[in-house]
Amino acid sequence: MKTMFDIRQLLKSYGAFIYTGDKLADLELMEDEIRELYRSGVLDASVFQSAMILLRHEISKLR
């Protein structure tokens, strides 16, 4: 994962379209979805880790 676009595309490929109009809420929902995909065994550890790092960075910028 290199960009937020990559994360959105990954989530879309699994049928998760996230847009609430609130950027922080979107990022938190994306984080939840990524966690659930990892727990379900769909994502491998490296994809999970890179996505979470990127999401946490973006969340920290908004807070």
Q: Which pLDDT score, from 0 to 100, does residue 1 have?
A: 78
Contacts of 24 (CB under 8 A, 6+ apart): 59, 62, 63
Nearest CA-CA partner of 30 in 47, 11, 46, 48: 11
Q: What is the CATH number of the domain that holds 15?
A: 1.10.287.760
- The Cβ-side half-sphere exposure at 62, using a 13 Å CA radius, reads 13
The parent domain of residue 9 ranges over 4-62
- Both structure tokens of 62: 């908004």
Residue 42's H or E segment, with its range, is none
Residue-wise pLDDT for 4-21, tens only, equals 999 999 999 999 999 999
Residues 20-59: tens digit of each pLDDT: 999 999 999 999 999 999 999 999 999 999 999 999 999 9
Q: Is the pTM of this model over 0.85?
A: yes
Whether the CB-CB separation of 7 and 35 falls below 8 Å is answered with no
Q: Could you give the number of structural domains in the chain?
A: 1
